[in-house]
Each structure stands twice: as C-alpha cells, then as structure tokens.
Amino acid sequence: MTPRPRRDAPQVRLYSATPETPLLIRTYEPRDRNTVWALHREGDIVTTSQYSDVDPEHEDDLRRLEDEYLSAGSCFWVAEIDGRVVGMTAIHRIDAETARLRRMRVTAARRRLGIAQRLLETAEQFCRDYGYRRMILDTTEQQTAAHRLYERAGFVRTGERTLGPFRIFDYRKELA
C-alpha cells in the first residue's frame, strides 16, 4: 500500500535559492490569498496582453482555492524568500491515477534561480507519495521557459489546442 501524507500536517521544504538566500516551499495558507492572486495576475500580464480575452471561468479554481486544492489528493504550495511569496504551484486530483499540475508561477524578479524546478520537484514527490501513476499539465505557446522546464523533467508533449486567443500545449509524465 502506498503511504499517504497526513492532511493535517503542512508540507514544508527548505532549499537554497542562492548560496545566501533560503527558499521555503510550504502549503498554502488563507493569509496567502491576495499574494497568490497578485502573482497569478503578474504571470498573466507577462505571458500576454491578450489574457483578458480568456473566459473568467478559467480562474474559478483560484476563487475556490481551499476547496479545489486543499483536499485529499490535491495540494497548493507557495515558495517564499525572506518571508515573501515568490512562486506557487498546485496539484489537482483528476482520478486515482492522474494528477494535474496547475498554476505554476514564479515572480519575474526571482526567475532563473531554480524556484520553478523546486516547486515542480515538490509537486512530483507529492504525486508519487499519493500513488499517482501520471502527471498532466498544460501551458501556453508563449511560455517557452516552462516548455524547457517540463521537458527536462521528463514530460512529453501530447497535444495542442486553443483557448480563446491562446495555443495551449498539453504535457504528460508517467510516474510508475
């Protein structure tokens, strides 16, 4: 039987973003709500000015973050440096074998420090601990750094589609 993490114990991981700067990855807390929204908006603006053309329904998961991601088989993390949230990501349970990586963001001022890699490692370990056999995700055509991150981590592009003005790439990684 695969061990299941306790839901009442917050997940915390400590890394080094730079030799002198500790990076803390921890489970989302309600006090993070405004910062998570700001980071989400920053990512949208950096990705493209066309984001406002996307149906607001595609943000419903963030409006219901606690219900969506803080339940068995799902989780939402924030990454902190010096007490400030600089990144985030989430895992959403699709079914007993599949989890979807969502909402990967790192603030522009802290990119290229390995924060996204650490968030991805945290999410993947969570999936393995829960016994998921695969992870799936999607990302926009414009997010070329994300494509490289996911492909280096073993994700394979499985398709593409459109969402409003965006071309979306679907990825998958087998964990078993």
Q: What pLDDT score was predicted for residue 163?
A: 81
pLDDT band at 8 (very low <50, low <70, confident <90, very high): very low
* Domain 12-136 -> CATH class: alpha beta
pLDDT at residue 113 is higher than 90? no
User: For the residues 82-107, what does the mean pLDDT come to?
Assistant: 95
> What is d(CA 84, CA 27) in angstroms, rounded to the nearest whole number?
14
Instruction: Quick: pLDDT tens for 21-42.
Output: 789 999 999 999 999 988 888 8
The angle, 0 to 180 degrees and rounded to 10, between the axes of the packed helices 144-152 and 115-129 is 50
> What is d(CA 114, CA 117) in angstroms, rounded to the nearest whole number?
5
Domain ranges of the chain: 12-136
